[in-house]
Amino acid sequence: MARRVTTRTKSLRAASALDVLEQFSALLVQLNQDANTLSAERFQAEVFKKVNTLILIDAGFWALGGHGPEPELFEIYLHNLTDQTVEEYNKIQQYDTVMQEAVRNPGVTLNVVVRDWYPEEYWPYLDSFGYRHALCTNVIDPVTGLFSAITLYRADPARPFSEQDRRLKQMLMPHWIEALNRARIEPSLRGVANALQYPMAAIADRAGLLRYAGDGFGEMLQREWPEWRGQMLPEPLLEKVALLTDGEFHGARIAAKITFNQNLPLVQLRPISLSDRLSEQQLKVARYSCEGLNFKEIARHMDLSPGTVRNYLHIIYRKLGVNTKLQLAEALRAAE
């Protein structure tokens, strides 16, 4: 009998875990769909409702900011909380040891009994806003310097968050943040021609500080500026942004396109291509040369003189930084 009970218990646990996994997967699908169809404000409201189907909550707090030259908080979203909550919170912010611990452990979700983390004189204030139990996570992108701090609350003292709740929120955070970035950036991309040619995108403010950055944006910047760390755009891009008009930048490894949308610069990036370095004629000469044609044969195909072909190849080798036909072929293959 004991063995049958144990087996049944294990089966129930497995079924429960499967249900949670299915709910988690469905939530991720819904996050992606909402990021593509809802405004950022609607998305933020809906995501708390949907998270509540997986982790029961009474309230939530979502802050976004940047750890740039001067750390800055540039957006706050409240779920079932009021602006008064933020005003009152500012009075005790210096005692917020929960957030301080979350900052020291980026990406790790803390499961806390709130009273245990604050001086006793603040318990009545915390209780009045339902701060009994909290799941707190602070995620910092080490490249762009952007961070998201999201805290979920429960009011019932007798219903703490479980370890499963904590792990689910920790796993959910990267998807949650990436979806919000898309919800913020996508509307700007819809009004930009040839958006697919520049796969990495971000939104900055008029001073050049990043606000939202799509996946891989920071890493793409580092191709051109390996030592770059956000939140301020690299100087050559800052110069373009300061003009307050659409513009382009072509570097050694990346190309950037800047488009002003609702007075904020949309910054798009792509790897540099051969067409950025070589003219159409030069590119044809390079390809013919790699196919094994000599000067005269290339000249005949392109209706040029052999001397012009020779000059073109000299320019091509210099622009691409190669010395042999084999290196030229490798450069063409790598770029295409």
How much is the pTM?
Answer: 0.79
Average pLDDT on 140-144 reads 93
Average pLDDT on 164-180 reads 94
| Calpha distance 23→134 (Å, rounded) | 21
Per the CB < 8 A criterion, the answer to whether 274 and 332 are in contact is yes
Residue type, 219: E
| Calpha distance 110→136 (Å, rounded) | 5
| Calpha distance 77→326 (Å, rounded) | 56
The β-bridge partners of 255 are 250, 270
* pLDDT reading at 1 higher than 50: no
Q: Does domain 2-184 have CATH number 3.40.250.10?
A: no
Q: Could you state, in order of their start, the residue ranges of all structural domains in the chain?
A: 2-184, 191-271, 274-335
- Chain centroid, CA 330 distance in Å: 32
Burial of 195 (0-12, 13-18, 19+ CB in 10 A): middle
Q: Which CATH architecture has domain 274-335?
A: Orthogonal Bundle (1.10)
Pick the CATH number of 191-271 from 3.40.720, 3.40.1130, 3.30.70, 3.40.1840: 3.40.1840
Average pLDDT on 203-224 reads 94
Minimum mean pLDDT range among 114-128, 233-247, 280-294: 114-128
Cβ neighbours for 263, distance < 8 A, ≥ 6 positions apart: 206
Per the CB < 8 A criterion, the answer to whether 135 and 55 are in contact is yes
Average pLDDT on 43-57 reads 92
Question: Binning pLDDT at 50, 70 and 90, where does residue 6 land?
Answer: low
Residues above pLDDT 90, as percent of the chain: 60
Per the CB < 8 A criterion, the answer to whether 290 and 325 are in contact is yes
